[in-house]
Structure 1
Amino acid sequence: MMVIVSYDVNTETSSGKRRLRHVAKICNDYGQRVQNSVFECLVDSTMLEEMKERLLKAYDEDHDSLYFFNVGKKYENKVSSYGCKQVLDLKKPVVF
């Protein structure tokens, strides 16, 4: 299923900057960055719960925000992108 993860981490302190890097790294483990704080993740239900658990441990609920948008399995008709940034098809192999 496609899950869009978005976050807002308060970076006014050095610990906030560390949290931001940590949250981004966790999201990168499950998907691809499509905007600075937005990731597209193709995950199954087990991976989704694992990702949520890791992110909820990493963020500070008093200063940060996390959003999970479950787009579902038939996401191709629900997600559109426009502009100069090319987004990879997560189902296809990537050749470097």
Structure 2
Amino acid sequence: MFILISYDIPHDKRRSKIAKTLENFGKRVQYSVFECQLTDSQLADVRNRLTALVVPNEDSIRFYSLPKDAVTAILILGHGVVTQDPIFYWTD
């Protein structure tokens, strides 16, 4: 499934850890936005990893699941492409 993950984290160290975690699951398309092609188990894995890092009353991480037909309708102004390949997977 195609998941868009965005975050707003006020503390630099925690924000860096969250970004590093997300780099293992998707492609950064904006400073705090990642496009991810994930299976259900990978989605559960990334959610568990981020839950361990987030401070609920300070941080915000949003997951947007897009259906296949919505992905084909994504419009990009300027440079960039929609993530196509599921090339980013955590391999513990």
TM-score interval, smaller chain: 0.7 to 0.9
1:62 and 2:57 equivalent? yes
User: 1:21 matched to which residue of 2?
Assistant: 16
**In structure 1, distance between residues paired with 2:12 and 2:56:** 15
Using structure 2 for the length normalisation, give the TM-score: 0.83
> For residue 17 of structure 1, what is the amino acid of its counterpart?
D
Tell which structure's C-alpha radius of gyration is larger: 1
Q: What percentage of residue pairs aligned between the two structures are identical?
A: 29
Query: C-alpha root-mean-square deviation of aligned residues, in Å?
Result: 1.9
Matched, 1:80 2:75: yes
Which of 33, 36, 41 aligns to 2:36? It is 41
The alpha-carbon distance between structure 1 residues 36 and 64, as it changes in their structure 2 partners (threshold 3 A), is same
Unaligned runs of 5+ in 2: 88-92
Please list every run of 5 or more consecutive structure 1 residues that lacks an aligned counterpart in the other structure. 11-15
Relative distance call for 1:20 and 1:80 in structure 2 (3 A) is: same
> In 1, are the aligned partners of 2:4 and 2:63 still within 8 Å (CA)?
yes
| 1:31 partner letter | G
1:90 aligns with 2:53: no
